[in-house]
Amino acid sequence: MNVLAHRIQSSSIMERILLCVCCFSGWLTSTCLPCQYHYVADAKTWTAAQSYCRQTHTDLATVENSDEVKQLNSTASSAANSSKVWIGLYSQISWKWSDGFTGSGADYRNWDTSEHEPDFYSGVQFCVSSSEGKWWDYDCSVKLKFICYTGTQRNPEFHLVDKNMSWSDAQKYCRENFLDLATVTNHGENQQVQEKAQKEMAWIGLHRDPNIYWSDGSKHSFTNWAIQRQAVKMTVKLENSSVDLNDPAVKAYLLEKLKEQLKAGGLDGVTVKWREQPDGKVFDGHRKRE
């Protein structure tokens, strides 16, 4: 990755802090100079980029408004850069279970690595859903069916609730009618959840807090995430084996049905398209990913 370094026009971090304090207190405002972004062409990891920027400039880039977004983009464009670059925004990731379980098996995960999960796409995916036993981080506001449990944390009995709710509403429902959203601590329990959910994508109890920060300690409030894109897994069962799922008319019909399902789940006004395989086809057998 390339790097964008960020600094105030001053010779040291101490001067930068002093000038900011002057600006905020109304003193010597004429001495407060705008920030500058500096494009660094060396490919580095985020941690190495942070270290480099702190040693050479002030820190990785902080972006606090739309004007600074334009300035950052202009800096990258003027350097003839078309690849992705690091900035100073980061998140401390700490997954936890809804019921607070921290014992043996609390760190069990079964992410869908074939889809690069968890991918935290668009910066809004703080809750976890299970689909055919594979886990995805997902937007907590999306309405899905969900898995609750009764019994004990060590000997749970899982229950599919056939209602579409956001993660927080599902959590509340489980706590009022069962014990909590499902805590899954091993492969056997994950298989039980899979059997209960069948082909449905369903909430489980794993989630995390945002914990989003800027490298230089600035408060995180402004956001400019890319438009959210989410893969949706879909299984098609054919009653007529002669139907060609890759026929354009069939694919168009299925897309409309998928849009209806997404709308029912709280996702209205979305753009849906098929993900093609290397051979140009969408469907391989009776299973595909959208």
In tens, the pLDDT along 208-247 reads: 998 889 999 888 877 777 665 555 555 666 677 777 877 8
pLDDT at res. 237:
67
- At residue 127, the 3 state secondary structure works out as strand
Closest Cα to residue 111, out of 103, 119, 123?
119
Tell me how many degrees the CA angle 83-85-88 measures, rounded to the nearest 5. 165
Total-model pTM = 0.64
pLDDT at res. 107:
97
Sort strands 85-86 and 2-8 into parallel, antiparallel or unpaired: parallel
The token pair at 45 is 């990891």
pLDDT at res. 132:
92
Cα within 13 Å of Cα(102), Cβ side: 2
CA dist 167 and 148 (Å) reads 12
Q: Which residues touch 226 (CB under 8 Å, ≥6 apart)? A: 121, 122
CA dist 62 and 277 (Å) reads 38
Give yes or no for a contact between 7 and 36, defined as CB atoms under 8 angstroms apart. yes
Which of the residues in the chain have pLDDT under 50? Answer: 1-2, 4, 6-33, 286-290
CA dist 236 and 286 (Å) reads 6
Give yes or no for a contact between 197 and 162, defined as CB atoms under 8 angstroms apart. no
In tens, the pLDDT along 107-120 reads: 999 999 988 899 88
- At residue 19, the 3 state secondary structure works out as helix
Largest Cα separation within the chain, whole Å, is 78
pLDDT at res. 199:
85
Give yes or no for a contact between 76 and 85, defined as CB atoms under 8 angstroms apart. yes
